[in-house]
Structure 1
Amino acid sequence: MSETHRVRFDPVDIEIEANEDETVLDAAFRQGVMPLHGCKEGQCSSCKSFLLDGDLQMDRYSTFALADYESDEGYVLLCRAHAYSDLDIELINYDEDMILAGLPVVTVRTRVEAVEELTHDITLLRVTVVGDDEFKFHPGQYVDIAVPGSDEHRSFSMANLPKSHDGELEFIIKRYSGGRFSSLLEDGLDAGAELDVTGPYGTFTLRADSERRLVFIGGGAGMAPILSLLRQVAAKEDFGREVVFYYGARTAADLFLLDELEEIGARIPGFRFVPCLSDSDRVDWNDVGHDGSIGVVTDVAGAGESDLAGADVYMCGPPPMIDAGLEMLEDRSVPRERIFYDKFTVSAEAD
């Protein structure tokens, strides 16, 4: 039987208990504490912290997330760290309001209600929680869905708003050839099938105390958490911040939910939606039914925004898009604490 140890997070002065057989990050989730994190698999470095005191051991991780020299200096990944004594850990990146607003992570059984094709490679999956279990989440968060018949899971962001009365969860999922979960979406996951869902995870949530304008940059299935945030904004009667959403796709055939985005925009004063097509030299935007731009989404956003340094920027999409966006934002002198992003990890890409 594993022992339990105290873990103290500086400088926020929060303490949790962690069992040796769980990671420090999972222990925090279990107790409703939400440090900044991303993939939970040692790949993205979002939960990188500094060990001030104590003894821990790390599961395998990518050196892209934590370089060898950083490990030698005392840096750790909370999603890979197991406590073997009481620990004092300094959080490198943290949002004090968010860390205390976490919801306990739970596992619920859900039933598939609909599987709908949005484009040639993107599917809308809608499920509802079975029984009397209640599943709560913040707009912008994600869950792990267990792959039936295996011990694997895949992570997907909710696209809808929390609806505790009906337990509905809605996902926008990109299908990959040969993917474990993608193959089920194409053949085998019909209405009535049941899936185990664990969450909520993620800190890609709206910082409501800010009054800065909002710039969203998304690509592919990265539409999901941004759509959840836009639905949240549209539901507020007194929301006074300017909002713009740059969405990247390859061709016009890869655009979807344009009618809903137009309807959402009608409820957000000053809202602009800018679809960006990277694989088209020319396009008749009249055929698309919406004005847009030609080019890579991060380039279009950089060229189209004169005051990014005065905005809160939210990005969600594949790693190349996020990396390009971070470089662009750094060049534009956007403060790091005003940049929020959700980067798809290798496991999500490989599905």
Structure 2
Amino acid sequence: MGEAHRIRFEPVDIEIEATEDETVLDAAFRQGIMPLHGCKEGQCSSCKSFLLDGDLQMDRYSTFALADYESEEGYVLLCRAHAYSDLDIELINYDEDMLRAGLPVVTVTARVEAIEALTHDISLLRVLVSGPDQLRFHPGQYVDIGIPGSPEHRSFSMANLPNDRDSGLDFIIKRYPGGKFSGLLEGELSAGDPLEITGPYGTFTLRASSERRLVFIGGGAGMAPILSVLRQIAAKGGFDREVVFYYGARTEADLFLLDEMRALDRHIPNFRFVPCLSDTADADWDALGVDGWSGTVTSVADESEAALAESDVYMCGPPPMIDAGLQVLEARSVPQEQIFYDKFTVSAEAG
């Protein structure tokens, strides 16, 4: 283990310790501090910060996440930065409540309990944590699951609530042909198989201090963290903020968990579920038991929502959906501090 150094985050007056052989972001996770982050691999720029003082070195990263001119000016990516002296770092984008509400990242062993098909290409994976360790998380967060027999991992959000250890962890996973992990759900993984899980990560969590209405926009397996947060809201009781969930799919066959969406309406007084089908112009909504629209989920939300700028907007799904949603929100002048999103990777290599 390399030498340890002090890391001071401004303007929040938080100090941690980081060794030279871990990234600053990993050191923060280890000590229960949760800076804003996304991919953790130098690809997305979510953890971009500014080096005020000290000496660090960066692992390889994408110039799409940190341009050369930004690096020359002193900007850094916490997920790629290794401290070689004490550091003073200015956080650019941060949520102080989330920073201090972080849970220490741990690695646990779990065993597959069940794998169920939800649609033709989306599965529910349920695992139970084995041994004495526990994995705590906030609704909306995710973990890294190791690919058996490989040093690689894939990231998946929990769909369930963080109840007691006996309830396990539920993941909604889209299967891709050739997917290194998702491909295992088609017969290679079975009940009892061990999996290594590390987490929790992510800041896609409910900001309970806000009184604004909530707009959720999801697609595909992006249902998972949104469902976890909705289940949190339903369990709280007495939640009086308006909540609407726009969910995008291609056809009627790609919709799932409709019974639970209808049930949420009984537990969240001001809840609406709006399924949106991009490839179906004449869905039988009466037979499905829900009121839906034809069109892409972001265009339907744009057309339906008159008060986006007065809402907290949470988006989770594949990159094209997130990019389209961000364009809508920018055009509608939604303040940046009211936008929260997780961008799911969709390539077979990432599955």
Q: Same fold (TM over 0.5)?
A: yes
Contact kept? 2:178, 2:349, Cα under 8 Å:
no
1:227 alignment counterpart: 227
2:66 alignment counterpart: 66
Matches within 5 A, 1:96-135: 96-135=96-135
1:261 alignment counterpart: 261
1:182 alignment counterpart: 182
The answer to whether residue 34 in structure 2 is matched with residue 34 in structure 1 is: yes
Contact kept? 1:135, 1:167, Cα under 8 Å:
no
Contact kept? 1:155, 1:348, Cα under 8 Å:
no
Contact kept? 1:32, 1:100, Cα under 8 Å:
yes
Following superposition, the deviation at residue 52 of structure 1 comes to: 0.8
Contact kept? 2:318, 2:346, Cα under 8 Å:
no
Q: Deviations over 1:244-287 (max 9, x none)?
A: 00000111111000001111121101210000011123222223
Q: Deviations over 1:116-160 (max 9, x none)?
A: 000111000000110221211000000000000010000000000
1:166 alignment counterpart: 166
Q: Kindly provide the amino acid, as one letter, of the partner of residue 25 in structure 1.
A: L
Looking at structure 2, the residues matched to 131 and 348 of structure 1 have their Cα atoms a distance apart, in angstroms, of 32
Looking at structure 1, the residues matched to 253 and 239 of structure 2 have their Cα atoms a distance apart, in angstroms, of 32
2:332 alignment counterpart: 332
Following superposition, the deviation at residue 350 of structure 1 comes to: 2.7
Contact kept? 1:134, 1:167, Cα under 8 Å:
no
2:52 alignment counterpart: 52
1:317 alignment counterpart: 317
Following superposition, the deviation at residue 347 of structure 1 comes to: 6.8
| SS of alignment partner, residue 224 of structure 2 | helix
Contact kept? 1:45, 1:77, Cα under 8 Å:
yes
1:275 alignment counterpart: 275
Structure 1: stretches of 5+ with no match in the other structure: none
Q: Kindly provide the amino acid, as one letter, of the partner of residue 233 in structure 2.
A: V
| SS of alignment partner, residue 172 of structure 2 | strand
Identity of aligned residues (%): 77
Q: Kindly provide the amino acid, as one letter, of the partner of residue 177 in structure 2.
A: S
Looking at structure 2, the residues matched to 305 and 201 of structure 1 have their Cα atoms a distance apart, in angstroms, of 30
Looking at structure 2, the residues matched to 159 and 76 of structure 1 have their Cα atoms a distance apart, in angstroms, of 32
Looking at structure 1, the residues matched to 348 and 7 of structure 2 have their Cα atoms a distance apart, in angstroms, of 30
1:91 alignment counterpart: 91
| SS of alignment partner, residue 247 of structure 1 | strand
Looking at structure 2, the residues matched to 57 and 165 of structure 1 have their Cα atoms a distance apart, in angstroms, of 39
Looking at structure 1, the residues matched to 166 and 245 of structure 2 have their Cα atoms a distance apart, in angstroms, of 29
Looking at structure 2, the residues matched to 33 and 167 of structure 1 have their Cα atoms a distance apart, in angstroms, of 26
| SS of alignment partner, residue 350 of structure 1 | coil
Looking at structure 2, the residues matched to 139 and 349 of structure 1 have their Cα atoms a distance apart, in angstroms, of 27
Q: Kindly provide the amino acid, as one letter, of the partner of residue 260 in structure 1.
A: E
Looking at structure 2, the residues matched to 329 and 232 of structure 1 have their Cα atoms a distance apart, in angstroms, of 25
Looking at structure 1, the residues matched to 46 and 29 of structure 2 have their Cα atoms a distance apart, in angstroms, of 15
Contact kept? 2:180, 2:348, Cα under 8 Å:
no
Q: Kindly provide the amino acid, as one letter, of the partner of residue 15 in structure 1.
A: E
Contact kept? 1:248, 1:296, Cα under 8 Å:
yes
Contact kept? 1:139, 1:162, Cα under 8 Å:
yes
| SS of alignment partner, residue 166 of structure 2 | coil
Contact kept? 2:146, 2:195, Cα under 8 Å:
yes
Contact kept? 1:136, 1:164, Cα under 8 Å:
no
Looking at structure 1, the residues matched to 31 and 148 of structure 2 have their Cα atoms a distance apart, in angstroms, of 27
2:303 alignment counterpart: 303
The answer to whether residue 154 in structure 2 is matched with residue 154 in structure 1 is: yes
Looking at structure 2, the residues matched to 56 and 165 of structure 1 have their Cα atoms a distance apart, in angstroms, of 39
Looking at structure 1, the residues matched to 327 and 262 of structure 2 have their Cα atoms a distance apart, in angstroms, of 30
Following superposition, the deviation at residue 91 of structure 1 comes to: 0.3
Q: Deviations over 1:179-237 (max 9, x none)?
A: 11112100211111110100000000000111110000000000000000000000111
Q: Kindly provide the amino acid, as one letter, of the partner of residue 113 in structure 1.
A: E
Q: Deviations over 1:268-324 (max 9, x none)?
A: 012100000111232222233322001111110011000011110000011111111
| SS of alignment partner, residue 185 of structure 2 | helix
1:25 alignment counterpart: 25
1:217 alignment counterpart: 217
